[in-house]
Amino acid sequence: MCTHLKNILLCFIIGIIYISTFAQTLTDESFRKEEDSIRYLLNVINKTHNDDSKILIETRIDSLFEKVLSNSESYNYPFDSLTSVGHIYSPDRLFRIITWNIALENGTYKYHGYIQTFNIKTKEYKYFHLNDCKENIIDPEHTILNADKWFGALYYNIIPQKANNMNYYTLLALQYYNINISHKIIEILYFNDSGEPVFGAPIIQEDKKLYNRLVFRYSAQVAMNLRFDKKLKMIIFDHLSPVEQRYTGEYEYYGPDLSYDGLEFKNNLWVYKSNIDLPKPDAK
């Protein structure tokens, strides 16, 4: 009798595992169908030259993304076939950011994105649509923003730290501004008591002044290095200068001058350091 009960229990457990696996497979298949549709529409946008048409297509892309992201099972779905869409998880896996951009007729770019979050206490998943309003943000270095008013960019690194009993995440980002100027951005992100994302916090210090974010402006014809160095525990970046002094303030003529600056996290602040002497790479 005992053996018989064990067999029944074993069959029950196997059945539950099979149903769970089958359901997950079905979910992944439905996600893949939406992903295929998104990929197709992104390809159409890249071949479309009319902004009004692009906006209509982008509206459809947003609806497909929201259909997937509204399902909590999508949190670990990789969207790996969307090569023009970036997605990056925080190191603690409590959120991820999905971003992409669309080129417009006038040479500027419109950014799109979502933040998908997981609340470890309530076990609740949420997503937030990011609304690019950068053209209306006059002083980004000193402005607090949110999902509805976002300084659109493509994020590629997330650095967590604690400051003043708050969990902050420092984001490194690239922003193609127009055909002449590009931006690299150091952005501070945290989540308020309602679990909503807030972009900007005055924890970046340069010359005793505090900033919510740093925006580096330079020629779109060159590349700027902005990275987090784990060994130095610093954010390292190229120092930018105009090619000639007469072009001071005209950022389409700015580029790296072979010197480096950085940010070091001390006493709850990212503190600006000039002329960083980087160690030479080990000889091989």
What is the average pLDDT across 33-53? Answer: 94
Q: How confident is the model at residue 247 (pLDDT cuts 50, 70, 90)?
A: very high
Examine the domain organization and report whether 36 and 113 are in the same domain.
Answer: no
Cα–Cα distance for residue pair 36/187, rounded to 1 Å: 31
Identify the domain boundary among 80, 102, 133.
80
* Per-residue pLDDT, 7: 43
What is the enclosing helix (H) or strand (E) of 263?
A: strand 254-266
Examine the domain organization and report whether 140 and 242 are in the same domain.
Answer: yes
Examine the domain organization and report whether 90 and 120 are in the same domain.
Answer: yes
Identify the domain boundary among 80, 113, 142.
80
- The rounded mean pLDDT for the chain is 89
Examine the domain organization and report whether 128 and 200 are in the same domain.
Answer: yes
What is the enclosing helix (H) or strand (E) of 227?
A: strand 226-229
Q: Domain total for the chain? A: 2
Examine the domain organization and report whether 72 and 186 are in the same domain.
Answer: no
Q: Which two tokens stand for residue 34?
A: 């939406």
The DSSP code for 138 is: S
* Per-residue pLDDT, 11: 40
Q: How confident is the model at residue 28 (pLDDT cuts 50, 70, 90)?
A: confident
Cα–Cα distance for residue pair 171/151, rounded to 1 Å: 12
Examine the domain organization and report whether 115 and 3 are in the same domain.
Answer: no
* Per-residue pLDDT, 280: 66
The residue type at 253: Y
Q: Is the pLDDT of residue 281 over 80?
A: no
Identify the domain boundary among 80, 104, 122.
80
Examine the domain organization and report whether 17 and 147 are in the same domain.
Answer: no
Q: Is the pLDDT of residue 83 over 50?
A: yes
Which backbone phi and psi does 12 adopt, to 5 degrees?
Answer: -65, -45
Examine the domain organization and report whether 44 and 73 are in the same domain.
Answer: yes
Q: Is the pLDDT of residue 210 over 90?
A: yes
Examine the domain organization and report whether 253 and 125 are in the same domain.
Answer: yes
Residue 73 structural domain: 1-80
Query: Is the full-model pTM beyond 0.85?
Result: yes
Q: How confident is the model at residue 212 (pLDDT cuts 50, 70, 90)?
A: very high
Examine the domain organization and report whether 27 and 124 are in the same domain.
Answer: no
Q: Is the pLDDT of residue 24 over 70?
A: no
Contact between residue 153 and residue 111 where contact means Cβ atoms under 8 Å apart: yes
| Residues 103-162 pLDDT 10s | 999 999 999 999 999 988 888 899 999 999 999 999 999 999 999 999 999 999 999 999
Examine the domain organization and report whether 177 and 238 are in the same domain.
Answer: yes
Q: How confident is the model at residue 279 (pLDDT cuts 50, 70, 90)?
A: confident
Examine the domain organization and report whether 92 and 50 are in the same domain.
Answer: no
Q: Is the pLDDT of residue 18 over 80?
A: no
Nearest CA among 156, 152, 151, 191 for reference residue 171:
156
Buried b (16+ CB within 10 A) or exposed e, 237-266: bbbbbbeeeeeeeebbbbbbeeebbbbebe
Q: Is the pLDDT of residue 19 over 90?
A: no
Q: Is the pLDDT of residue 23 over 60?
A: no
Distances (CA, A) of 269 to 163, 174, 228: 7, 22, 16
What is the average pLDDT across 61-74? Answer: 94
